Amino acid sequence: MPHYCTLIPGDGIGPEVSQAAVRALSATGVDIVWKRAELNEAIILESGKTLPKYLLDSLNETRVGLKGPVTTPVAGGFQSVNVQLRKTLDLFANVRPVKTLPGLKTRFQDVAIDMVIFRENTEDLYSGLEHEVVKDVVTSLKVITRVASERIANYAFNYARLNNRTHVAAIHKANIMKLADGLFLRCCRETAAKFPEIHYKELIVDNASMQLVIRPETFDLLLLPNLYGDIISDLAAGLVGGLGIVPGANMGEHHAVFEAVHGSAPDIAGQGKANPTAMILSSVMLLTHIGEKDAAHRLQSAVEKVYAEGKYLTGDVGGASSTIEFTDAVVRALKD
């Protein structure tokens, strides 16, 4: 029976890495019917809508999406597509596995890094509640609620239990933001009490950042509010080779959207330089979500085999191969 999924190629390098992921998924033999929904900066500017109706209709129909990066203007222009999508579909859990790939040369290549970051996705400073009180004086509201905090904490601890993970670290700044981050921490502590087999600890976000750089191998699951989660996710990606290799998922009660964590990189668009690893590994998460665990394992293993051999890597990770050449190697590894 086929699986129906929405494909949002995005812009910049999005169409290239999305096509690579579609090829890799097809090579697994899983029957996926793609509902293509175009969304890019030009469409948004022309329509005046960050999330066109046809895109939301498609995601409401399929409940599963694979999304390439979409350009977001800086310090002006339209709101981030990701932020809007997460709020509209209530994709409350941002899940980012960060794992060392075999053979890849990094500053931590002799250390086995294997952590999963759970970032609350719907509130905090990303609520977008900003106000210019008087000229050149701006306030921005940090929103933390019990409902959202309990929901992401439960999601992280249940993931730990189901995947034989043994440690959860809640990251916070409750020493300064005693009410907002204090509420987040109370919800984490209350949830941790329901999972006595899982070791729970708390780290202030600045200390956690230092510890990640000094001893990243000691982290297992990280549980964070929205802003800290965004920053720590990129920091952690740098430990294993960069944003080009780290996958991500935005999970809700009724929808799931999988995406690479990197941006649209318009400066290299159309040149065949883009690394599709993050998009392909996001597809591994998609396969797991739709119940195709064997295919997910085979695709993950194929990517790891290509990295271990090191012959067809893209320029951002020290190779000289094109997007297509890397994808060809993954497809061959799948067939082997």
- What is the three-state SS of 235-301? HHHHHHCCHHHCEEEEECCCCEEEEECCCCCHHHCCCCCCCCHHHHHHHHHHHHHCCCHHHHHHHHH
172 in Cβ contact with 181 (< 8 Å): yes
Residue 75's pLDDT is 44
Catalytic entry in 173, 228, 307, 316:
173
The CA distance from 120 to 187, in Å, is: 13
CA distance 234 to 231: 6
* Percent share of the chain, pLDDT over 70: 98
Average pLDDT over residues 242-255: 96
* Amino acid 72: pLDDT: 67
Confidence tier at 6 by pLDDT (50, 70, 90): very high
The CA distance from 232 to 13, in Å, is 24
**Fold of domain 1-94+243-336:** Isopropylmalate Dehydrogenase (3.40.718)
Instruction: Give the integer Cα–Cα distance in Å for 174 and 176.
Output: 5
Residue 173 is a catalytic residue: yes
Name the active-site residue from 124, 230, 307, 312.
Answer: 230
Give the pairing type, strands 247-251 and 256-260: antiparallel
Q: Which of 37, 51, 5, 41 is nearest to 264 (CA)?
A: 41
The two structure tokens encoding residue 145: 């609620």
336 is catalytic: no
pLDDT above 90 (res 308): yes
The answer to whether 112 and 101 have CB atoms below 8 angstroms apart is: no
- Going by their DSSP bridges, the two strands 221-224 and 114-120 should be labelled as parallel
Give the model's confidence band at 105: pLDDT under 50 very low, under 70 low, under 90 confident, else very high. confident
Reply yes or no on whether the pLDDT at 76 is more than 70.
Answer: no
Query: What mean pLDDT do residues 69-81 have?
Result: 66
Domain ranges of the chain: 1-94+243-336, 107-240
Spatial separation of the C-alpha atoms in residues 263 and 275, rounded to whole Å: 12
328 given a catalytic annotation: no
> Predicted confidence band at 73 (pLDDT cuts at 50, 70, 90)?
low
Higher-pLDDT residue of 75 and 273 is: 273
Predicted TM-score (pTM) above 0.85: yes
Q: Which residues pair with 99 in a beta bridge?
A: 114
Q: Are 8 and 56 spatial neighbours (Cβ–Cβ below 8 Å)?
A: no
**How high is the pLDDT of residue 78?**
57
CATH match for 107-240 among 3.40.1280.10, 3.10.129.10, 3.40.718.10, 3.20.20.70:
3.40.718.10
For residue 122, pLDDT beyond 90: yes
- The residue from 67, 126, 181, 200 that is catalytic is 126
The residue from 31, 178, 194, 206 that is catalytic is: 206
pLDDT for res 336: 85
**Is 206 tagged catalytic?**
yes
